[in-house]
A and B are shown apart, each in its own frame.
Chain A
Amino acid sequence: MTETPAGAVVFTDIVGFTEFTAHHGDDEALALLDRQEKVVRATLPDDARVVKELGDGLLLWFPEAVGALGACLALSERFEEEAATDVPLWVRVGMHWGCPTRRGDDLVGHDVNLAARIVDVAGPGEVLVSEPVREQVHGRVQGLRLDELGPVVMKGIPDAVPLYRAALV
């Protein structure tokens, strides 16, 4: 196992996917996943990668914070546009900056676990970021607004984690 250089670990998650599948069936659920994948592939910068698919979510890796946040906000906007059509694609995003450990093509470790917990806190259409992300992007993204949620207590994470809701104004 190898520690990777610092980077942004991002989880995405489709909100209400289980309910959607239960009500509309597997075929429509698969179409929703295809739609998500298409949006993600079209939005990710070249230096980012989809680490793995997790059912209705994705684990993404970005080597640079400003580009990562820009991509996440663009993703959120694209998903909103998609939701304005017939199929609701409500995606939430959690982002953390750290040095995860590489295991083959996968990423593991505390920073990955933390990013996974962050997305659990996000509501549909929200991009939530941790304090290290805020430090990385501070003053470097024009029109960026970061609203503090306050310290968030998360299962399995010893200390409360300050989180911010990111949006462009």
Chain B
Amino acid sequence: MVSALTLEARPGAVIRVMARSGSVTVTGEDRSDVAVTGARHAKVADDGSIEVKARSGSVSVQCPEGSDVIIGANSGRVELRGRLGDARVTVGSGSVVVDHVERLDARTGSGSFDIGECAGECRLKTGSGGIDVTRAGESDLATGSGSVNLVLVDSAKVKAGSGKVEIGLAGAGDLDVKAMSGSVTVSVPRGAHPAARLKTLSGDVRCDCAAGHEGEIKVKTLSGNIRVVER
């Protein structure tokens, strides 16, 4: 067990963390080295990346702001704190919490996502668990069961099994939502004129916007109401 260790990182070094169980926290902060606590093994790999392995318990990594991060964990919560670069996270079961990343590709077999800001592409997959995103660019999201709440996105593709879906479009981006059951609410900027194609097999459809061609909103759900509202 490496109780605490500081490694010199070359600029742009990727942080790779593999953990069998327990929580993983990676924090991007104003520093040039990498501090690791709670790991079984930590080293600078041949390619310059920082390699951290943990078996159980909590592992914490503090790294330079903007670092790219790759995390693989079997079970446990993963937190990306501060400002980080591109992040790829895979968790067998456990939730993922993110403050700010440039791009994100994260998946968990069961567990929720709580994402603050993803500046660019945001890809999230969970077998069961809710998805909450405050701000993201182009998004591709899927949950087998659980609610989806995207406060503001540029564009999105969403697949939702069961659960409420709420999405705020930042502008005239495209939206494609397919849901099995659960209501879908889309909010667009006031005065927007999207092309809306809304279909539910059992439920009501209401679109408050005037029809136009400023982005396409496609929503299909097997059961549940669909609403497109201005904000």
A149 touches B105 (CB 8 A): yes
Q: B90 interface residue, CB < 8 Å from A?
A: yes
A169 to B191 alpha-carbon distance, docked (Å): 36
A163 to B109 alpha-carbon distance, docked (Å): 15
Q: B172 interface residue, CB < 8 Å from A?
A: no
A124 touches B125 (CB 8 A): yes
A121 to B16 alpha-carbon distance, docked (Å): 18
A151 to B52 alpha-carbon distance, docked (Å): 12
Central interface residue in A83, A153, A163, by most chain B CB within 10 Å = A153
Q: Which of B74-132 contact A (CB under 8 A)?
A: 74-75, 88, 90, 92, 105, 107, 109, 125, 127
A interface residues, tally (CB under 8 Å): 29
Q: B66 interface residue, CB < 8 Å from A?
A: no
Q: Which of B188-229 contact A (CB under 8 A)?
A: 201, 222-223
B interface residues, tally (CB under 8 Å): 30
B70 touches A23 (CB 8 A): no
- Which one of A13-21, A45-53, A101-109 is at the B interface? A13-21
Which residues of B have CB within 8 Å of A163? 90
B125 touches A126 (CB 8 A): yes
Q: A6 interface residue, CB < 8 Å from B?
A: no
A-B contact count (CB 8 A): 90
Contacting B92 at CB < 8 Å: which of A86, A126, A154? A154
A86 touches B201 (CB 8 A): yes
Central interface residue in B70, B71, B180, by most chain A CB within 10 Å = B180
A153 touches B145 (CB 8 A): no
B88 touches A149 (CB 8 A): yes
A150 touches B144 (CB 8 A): no
B20 touches A153 (CB 8 A): yes
A24 to B162 alpha-carbon distance, docked (Å): 11
Contacting A23 at CB < 8 Å: which of B20, B88, B105, B162? B162
B107 touches A121 (CB 8 A): yes
Q: A152 interface residue, CB < 8 Å from B?
A: yes
A15 to B109 alpha-carbon distance, docked (Å): 11
Nearest CB of B to A136, in Å: 22
B180 touches A20 (CB 8 A): yes
A150-B125 contact, Cβ under 8 Å, with A16-B180, A19-B161, A23-B162: no
Contacting B222 at CB < 8 Å: which of A22, A88, A125, A155? A88
Nearest CB of B to A22, in Å: 8
Which residues of A have CB within 8 Å of B71? 150
State the B residues within 8 Å of A (CB): 16, 18-20, 70-75, 88, 90, 92, 105, 107, 109, 125, 127, 142, 144-145, 159, 161-162, 178, 180-181, 201, 222-223
State the A residues within 8 Å of B (CB): 15-16, 19-20, 22-24, 83, 86, 88, 90, 120-126, 147-155, 160, 163
Q: List 17 A-B contacts (CB under 8 A).
A: A15-B142, A15-B159, A16-B145, A19-B161, A20-B180, A88-B180, A88-B222, A90-B142, A121-B90, A123-B125, A124-B142, A126-B125, A150-B72, A150-B88, A150-B90, A153-B90, A160-B18
